[in-house]
Each structure stands twice: as structure tokens, then as C-alpha cells.
Amino acid sequence: MEIEIQAGTEAGVPAPETAQERTVGTTLLEVSDLAVEFRTDDGTVRAVDGLSYRVEAGRTLALVGESGCGKSVSSLAVMGLLPATAHVVAGQVRYRGDDLLAMPRTRHRAHCGRHVAMVFQDALAALNPVHTVGYQLTESLRARAGMSRRESRRRAVELLDLVKVPNAAQRIDEYPHQFSGGMRQRVMIASALAMDPDVLIADEPTTALDVTVQAQVMRLLAEIQAERQMGLVLITHDLGVVAGVADDVTVMYAGRAVERSAVRDLYAAPAHPYTRSLLRSVPRLGTRDDGHDDAHDGARRGRLPVVPGRPPSPGHVPSGCPFHPRCDMARDVCATDRPPLAEVAAGRSSACHFADELLGGDRG
């Protein structure tokens, strides 16, 4: 279903392009050297430290890492939704070449509401419990697209149909608590798609959903992206989801990008010990570590490898490589010298002193 979006009423913000005007591979959003700090009673904490990535039309970029690595904070910085205690202290966020961070706050928020949209991870918390989902969908359409109540209601029903909410014309008058978790997430996606954005940021969109519903939500996002040629930023810790939907991956650790790669290359041969540890910790059905078939020897399954230790607190990041206390490849230089994120192969970057050794070992 193709949804027309009327020209907006906000000053200085052009109407969004249609999917046909988005060319696959065109850079839509570029984050460069982004740094975000929180001012707390215990001092200043840098939650994001020099993060860079690029989002292209028709492609999915996955931001991957353990909880607390800065994935969600970086997306809130892009959207201009950081809390009052947080501040962007460095970097640029360019939408089609225009630096959103250099704009007045109202214009930044207007661009993000129209051209860059976000699906939040907790739909029940993000939706207002005292208003119907129809009211919440039509409110933004009236405010941003200047639609009448009748027009906005019709469009809201179309949006719910688009995200495959059954009986949309009737359910539009229901409240969030009357929807299941998966259906609430679809309502959130519908809300984010209301202005036909160029870029959609999905922050853990399948959190707290069972695996069947997770697959349905991710398939829905993939279908909509393919139809509209949006750029999609998928924030997740689920490497299984990444393998199924992403084109490119940026792995984050302690607020920094430690590896960037096309998804196939990363899964075939990770170029950072942290990425390798994450991939090893993913459960696999069918074989043990020694190659035997679990189905025929279920009582003697090998133990699942885990990443040792815990991620560092953002206020107490180790010197040198922040991963070195947990790394099985760490040497003396890792504790003193912070490795830069540098190209180690065509289209691949790693922040590891021994990335070439790691790639050579995995390739062999």
C-alpha cells in the first residue's frame, strides 16, 4: 500500500521524498565522531565516544553490542531526544549533508520527526495509556502534515493496515493495553512511518516478544524497507536477527565502535576479539564443540562459551583497549595503547592491535 504524504506545515522543512526518489546506496544519514557525556553528581561520564557510521537508502545497518555500550544513547542523540543530563560534546549528525546538531533545536526535532523516525524498544511505555492508538496516530498527522481530522483518521487506518493490524478500522479506537505486545510494536512502527521517513531507527524492536512474534516484526520491517527503500538502523544484541536482516554491522563496546563490516564478512571471519566472543556465545543446534551431533548424544553436550567478565562501567573504562581485561588475545600493548578503528581489509575496519593476526587465523 503506498501512502501519500502531504507537504508539511513546519517552516524550513521540505516534504519527504517518496520511495521511488530514493536511490539504493545513496547516503541518507552520516554520524561522524559523535561523543555524548552525562553530567552526574559523581562526575562526567562519556557514554558515546567517537562513534561514526553511515546509513544508505535501501540498506540495513545493525548496531550491535552488550547493554550499556552506547547504542541507544547514540540514537537518542541523533533524534535530539537526550535527557537534560546528557550533552553532545563532539561530532556531527548529517542528514543528506545538513548537520542536524548545528540546527536550532526546534528545526532539528522537526527534521527528525519527518525525515528520521524512531521505533522505541518499549511500546507500552512509549504509547500514552490514556489515549486511543487512533488519537496518537492522527495527532502527528494533523500537526505535521496539516491534515483534517477526517483525513488523518483515514490515513491512520491505512497505516495500521500497512503494518498488518487486523480489523484496523475498528481497532483504531482501542487503547494500548487492549493490544498484545506484538500488536503494540506494530502500532509503534505505524507511528514512525506516518511521515514516510528516509531513515528508520529501530531500537531493540523485538524486546520482550516471543520468537514467533519477533520474526513477524522483523519480516514486517524488512518488507516495508524494501518497498520504500528506506535506510534502516537496527539496534540490537540479537546476533541471530542481525544475520537475517542486516547488510552492514557496527559492533560497539564501551561507547566506541570496535568493528565495522559487511554482515557476511563479519560472520565468516570476525576482525575483533570481542566480535569473535559474541559470535561464539550464540547457541547452535545440531553439533557440539567436538563436531558430534547433539541429536544423537544429548547427554554429553559441550558447554556454551561466554564472554568472560563484565562490560566496563562508562565512568571507569580501562586504559588502552577497553576490551583487554576480557580478551584472550590481550598483550602488554593492549593495556596501554588504545587501538584506532582502522581499515584491515577492503570494506572492513577493526580497533584491535592484532586484527591481521585474528583474520589470518580465522581464514586459515
Residue 286 pLDDT: 60
For 68-87, what is the mean pLDDT?
Answer: 94
Residue bearing the bigger pLDDT, 242 or 291:
242
Residue 14 pLDDT: 41
CA atoms of 257 and 45, how far apart (whole Å): 17
Residue 212 pLDDT: 84
pTM of the model: 0.86
For 89-94, what is the mean pLDDT?
Answer: 97
Q: Is the pLDDT of residue 150 over 60?
A: yes
Q: What is the average pLDDT score of the chain?
A: 87
Q: Is the pLDDT of residue 316 over 70?
A: yes
Residue 300 pLDDT: 44
% of the chain residues with pLDDT over 90:
63
10-67 pLDDT, tens digit each? 434 444 444 446 788 799 999 999 999 999 888 899 999 999 999 999 999 999 999 8
For 284-292, what is the mean pLDDT?
Answer: 55
For 120-131, what is the mean pLDDT?
Answer: 89
Q: Is the pLDDT of residue 232 over 60?
A: yes
Residue 16 pLDDT: 45
Please tell me whether residue 242 adopts helix, strand or coil conformation.
Answer: helix
- Edge-to-edge strands of the sheet including 348-350? 116-119, 199-203, 231-236, 60-64, 248-253, 256-262, 348-350, 342-345
The type of residue at 280 is: R
CA atoms of 308 and 301, how far apart (whole Å): 20
